[in-house]
Amino acid sequence: MRREFLTIVALFVCVRAFAADWTLIKHDGRDYVTFDNVAQFYGLGGVQRTGGNGFAIAIGSRSLRGQAGSVEFYINNLKFNLSYPIVDQGGRLCVSRMDLVKVIEPVLRPGKIKDAELVDTIILDPGHGGHDNGAMSPFGNEKTFSLDVANRARMLFLQQGYKVYMTRNSDEFIPLEDRVRFANRFPNALFISIHFNSGGAGTGLETYTLAPRGVPSMMADGPRISDLQECPGNSRDAENMALATATHASLEVHLKAFDRGMYDRGIKRARFVVIRDITIPGVLVEGGFLSNSYDARLIATPEYRAGMAASIFQAVQTYRRAVGPSTTQLARSGTGLRTDGETTAPADPPAPTPDPAAN
């Protein structure tokens, strides 16, 4: 809580110092900023309309694009799901202040994340287990596939000198709260929960990180009073988003190279127990839908699960380069996380603070 408060204060001071650079617009009781401001702020050039309600901002390999009225948003061609739709206010395209602070800023400038710890420990969390099979398919079940991916990833991390712990290493049921308590024992660690999806005609890959305070979960039917309560994991919002970016980008690169038919569902926010209550940065990955015959056949192959394990390993390597203490000098020269794992970004801009009470 203290860490979050100090971060907000620091950002507020920046905003006060550079307030003239920003245009704040009220929409549905919420603060928005114009993409003209965002483009100038991050050194991305002008906003280009792309037909209809679409737009793009790009310079070199860095880009933002989206569409008014939609939450689907692309940063460096990686798909994100914003908390609130992009709006068109009198011809000016705008993004919510919450999404600027909680999505765009940590993705474009992870080197600016304060107090990010040097990671030497990985907590792998294979979903389900024991009597809880998870999602099912004719080719196998979620508990088995998730454990296999975790074991493969574990070997990759151990080979590179990481300390690795698993919330379960056999077919046993571990309550969610016990997984959280286990993960919270370790400092300098990242938490990666491994799952496979189920439901209707769903298909594709998605990566979840914790919803910020004041933002509805994308897995809920609508806003709730509990959305305004701070969760333990919210102290890591910026690191969570940087890790989710590295993870989803790595999944896209490795698994689409394996099979380009896998649909990209993007990065989303929710309040699943295992990412809500941990006090270290964490993500939950869904490696495809076992209820979908196309996805299920892929997931059942050892090659696909090996690719998923390699994706998780590479994501951690990318995250460490982006936010670790060794990036200090890079941050001063203007660096950030690109979805191809390399770095680039503009020099110091101020960032407006989120106002959960207004959301």
The total of other beta-carbon atoms located within 10 Å of residue 263's CB is 16
Task: Identify whether residues 175 and 29 lie together within a single domain.
Answer: no
The amino acid sitting at 202 is G
Residue 296: which residues within 8 A CB-CB, separation 6 or more?
Answer: 137, 138, 139, 288, 289, 290
Domain that holds residue 51: 2-109+346-358
Reported confidence tier of residue 282, pLDDT bands at 50, 70, 90: very high
Q: Are residues 82 and 131 in the same domain?
A: no
The predicted structure's pLDDT at residue 200:
80
What is the average per-residue pLDDT within 318-338? 56
* Residue 333 covered by a domain: no
The count of structural domains within the chain is 2
If asked whether residues 102 and 127 sit together in one domain, one would say: no
Left (φ > 0), alpha (ψ -120 to 50) or beta: where does 266 sit? Answer: left
Do 163 and 301 sit in the same domain of this protein?
yes
- CA 313, 318, 319, 323 torsion-angle sign: positive
Q: Are strands 62-67 and 140-141 parallel, antiparallel or unpaired?
A: unpaired
For 162-173, how does the pLDDT look when each residue is reduced to its tens digit (9 = 90+)? 999 999 999 999
In terms of domains, do 286 and 166 share one?
yes
Residues 73-95: what's their mean pLDDT?
Answer: 95
Q: Is residue 39 part of a domain?
A: yes
Of 257, 253, 258, 254, residue with least CA distance to 298: 258
Q: Confidence band (pLDDT; 50, 70, 90) for 336? A: very low
273 found inside a domain: yes
| Whole-number average pLDDT of the chain | 85
3-state secondary structure of 90: coil
Q: Are residues 18 and 130 in the same domain?
A: no
CATH code for position 241: 3.40.630.40
In the numeric block, the tokens 């890591």 are attached to: 236
Is position 332 within any domain?
no
Give yes or no: residues 22 and 143 share one domain.
no
Does 299 lie in the same domain as 264? Answer: yes
**What is the 3-state secondary structure of 5-74?**
HHHHHHHHHHHHHCHHHCCEEEECCEEEEEHHHHHHHCCCCCCEECCCCEEEEEECCEEEEEECCCCEEE
- Asked if residue 97 belongs to a domain, the reply is yes
* Residues 156 and 217 reside in one and the same domain: yes
In a domain, 330, yes or no: no
What's the pLDDT score for residue 201? 80
Residue 339 pLDDT level (bands cut at 50, 70, 90): very low
